[in-house]
Amino acid sequence: MRQNKMILPTLREVPKEAEITSHRLMLRAGLIRQLASGIYTYLPLGYRVLKKVERIVREEMERAGAQELLFSALQPAELWHQTGRWDDYGPELVRLKDRHDRDFVLGPTHEEVITTLVKQEISSYKKLPVNLFQIQTKYRDERRPRFGVMRAREFVMKDAYSFHTSWDDLDVTYKTMYTAYSNIFSRLGLFFRPVEANSGAIGGEGENHEFMAMAAVGEDTIAVCSHCDYAANLEKAEAADVPAAGLEPTADAPAFAKLHTPGTKTIEQLVAALGLEASVFLKTLVYLADGEPVVAVVRGDHDVNEAKLKDLVAATTLELANDTTILRTLGAPVGFIGPVGLKGVKIIVDKSAAKVASGVTGANEADYHLQNVVVGRDFTPDTVADIRNVVEGDKCPNCGDGTLEFHRGIECGHIFKLGTKYSSKIGATYLDENQKSQDIIMGCYGIGISRCLAAIIEQNNDEGGIIWPVSVAPYHVHVIPVNVKDEEQTAIAENLYRRLQAQGVDVLIDDRDERPGVKFKDSDLIGIPLRVTVGKRAGEGIVEFKVRKTGETTEVSIEQAYEEIMGMVLGQ
């Protein structure tokens, strides 16, 4: 491609609205432009990368035996009424009416659509299993789109759905997809980790894994064992059972007693006032689970994991109660509430909190706390379960030797075992070998294609700009004639450009009449992996060959440059 003809508007200055490196560089390198909040145009350079990522995903999905189709983004609301998700989702679900005033959604995902298709087209077990995928634009009206294409309101997703007659058969495809995803993210040049995840709103009783591109700007926190390969999203991560916070409660442990603690509402204030460790406090929080109050108790040095709590109480919505609700429900102001003496409200105690031998908690009376509280003696939990976030240093639940360390990740892929959650509601069944009608068992598998561009840039950049891996680079080689008025330099550059193109190499030639400095800065910024500069020594058959990733620059013959390039590019 000839740069002089391209719409490739590079920027010197950093757009102020861009907060993270990938967003800044995608704007500065002329890959995208914002149309509206969370909505982007992919300019030619950005679009080329998007198509290369899609091609790699498509190749690996087909290698894994999936068949590609394309659904409509417009989905009739009836399907969403059938699964109940028309009501489950709020403003994030883009809804619209057609000219006949019929309700539609712009698809954020396609479980309803694909399951309806399979219901219509597949009825015999002989046609199963089947794995179908598409690559398409999705719509989710994020409340706060940010970080450029990393959290947009419109984005490109590969979504696949598999259909099975048994969980065992689903497991086979799940493992095949797990491998395909590992191949995909490796080919994209990403440093990634598969992590155990929480299936969240879409539920589905099966296991699920997220594929995290490790990056400091990642919105997800993952807990990784220092010793074994255990890795889990913080929403899901567990810790090996921890020793009791104090001594085991003894029969003659003193009865609980009131403490006058005027104005000390927070754990920090209590620790300071009483000189006790945060781990002996029974921190009490009130939630509304589907509107019903639930009391959660964790140790003072832990936090409630709302994803775990929500799963435990099987709630559709879970939110912290406000101060008024707390006062009304427990008769005490926030900061002085506790589980002792509560009536008619469910009390869930975290496993680690249940081991506190002699705890301190709110007395359910303003300015008073209780000490020497023994769980099970002074109050009876309805449930004792893991409802806390693990903390760094916790023992690994898998090997028990290593400790958990936190890292940040960008969720680029997510695979799920769905079971019959959708097929049962849509009525997608098959006739088994005994002619008995059974609900089809499903899996689903997503990759954020456009999000991968941001993740790749977050992991591959330097002060000069983007450093594209060869596999997804918009062009493999940047041929730069230093002075386009010099006929010899231009002829040599053009010749190399044509020879490489004839070999199927993607070549960009900077044929602009620009100062060399501008050309080199732009070349570093847009991150083409290999560069051949045709300058003063061209007449001697010498050009400069630069590898963007290492910065390694050598003067070589044109032939050597050609051979180097062919060696580094072919097979990508």
Q: Rounded distance, CA 194 to CA 428, Å?
A: 31
Q: Find out whether 429 and 235 touch, Cβ atoms under 8 Å.
A: no
Answer yes or no whether residue 178 interacts with ligand 9G3 by CB under 6 A.
no
Q: What are phi and psi of 203, to 5 degrees?
A: 60, -135
Q: Rounded distance, CA 487 to CA 503, Å?
A: 24
Nearer to ligand 9G3, 218 or 413 (CB): 413
Residue pointed to by tokens 């908690």: 361
Answer yes or no whether residue 308 interacts with ligand 9G3 by CB under 6 A.
no
Site string for ligand 9G3, 387-416 (x = CB under 6 A): ---------------------------x--
Answer yes or no whether residue 92 interacts with ligand 9G3 by CB under 6 A.
yes
Stretch that binds ligand 9G3, among 87-95, 187-195, 433-441, 482-490 (CB under 6 A): 87-95
Answer yes or no whether residue 159 interacts with ligand 9G3 by CB under 6 A.
yes
Choosing from 21, 22, 109, 429, the residue that interacts with ligand 9G3 (CB under 6 A) is 109
Q: Rounded distance, CA 391 to CA 238, Å?
A: 9
Q: How many residues comprise the chain?
A: 572
Answer yes or no whether residue 93 interacts with ligand 9G3 by CB under 6 A.
yes
The nearest distance, CB 219 to ligand 9G3, in angstroms, is 14
SS3 488: helix
Choosing from 89, 167, 178, 191, the residue that interacts with ligand 9G3 (CB under 6 A) is 89
Answer yes or no whether residue 77 interacts with ligand 9G3 by CB under 6 A.
no
CA 458 to chain centre: 14
The nearest distance, CB 40 to ligand 9G3, in angstroms, is 19
Answer yes or no whether residue 310 interacts with ligand 9G3 by CB under 6 A.
no
* Shortest-Cβ-distance residue relative to ligand 9G3: 446
Distance between start and end Cα atoms, the chain: 19
Choosing from 117, 130, 202, 273, the residue that interacts with ligand 9G3 (CB under 6 A) is 202
Q: Rounded distance, CA 526 to CA 45, Å?
A: 9
Residues in contact with ligand 9G3, counted by CB under 6 A, come to a total of 12
Answer yes or no whether residue 446 interacts with ligand 9G3 by CB under 6 A.
yes
Q: Rounded distance, CA 476 to CA 233, Å?
A: 36
Q: Find out whether 118 and 440 touch, Cβ atoms under 8 Å.
A: yes
The 3-class SS string of 329-379 reads HHCCCCCCCCCCCCCCCEEEEECCHHHCCCEEEEEEECCEEEEEECECCCE
Q: Under 8 Å CB-to-CB from 441, ≥6 apart: which residues?
A: 163, 164, 165, 166, 167, 169, 170, 418, 419, 420, 423
Tell me the two tokens of residue 152: 């947009």
Answer yes or no whether residue 85 interacts with ligand 9G3 by CB under 6 A.
yes
Nearer to ligand 9G3, 92 or 488 (CB): 92
Nearer to ligand 9G3, 141 or 365 (CB): 141
Stretch that binds ligand 9G3, among 86-94, 221-229, 292-300, 363-371 (CB under 6 A): 86-94
Choosing from 30, 38, 46, 108, the residue that interacts with ligand 9G3 (CB under 6 A) is 108
Q: Rounded distance, CA 337 to CA 263, Å?
A: 13
- Name the site residues for ligand 9G3 (rule: CB under 6 A): 85, 89, 92-93, 108-109, 140, 159, 202, 414, 444, 446
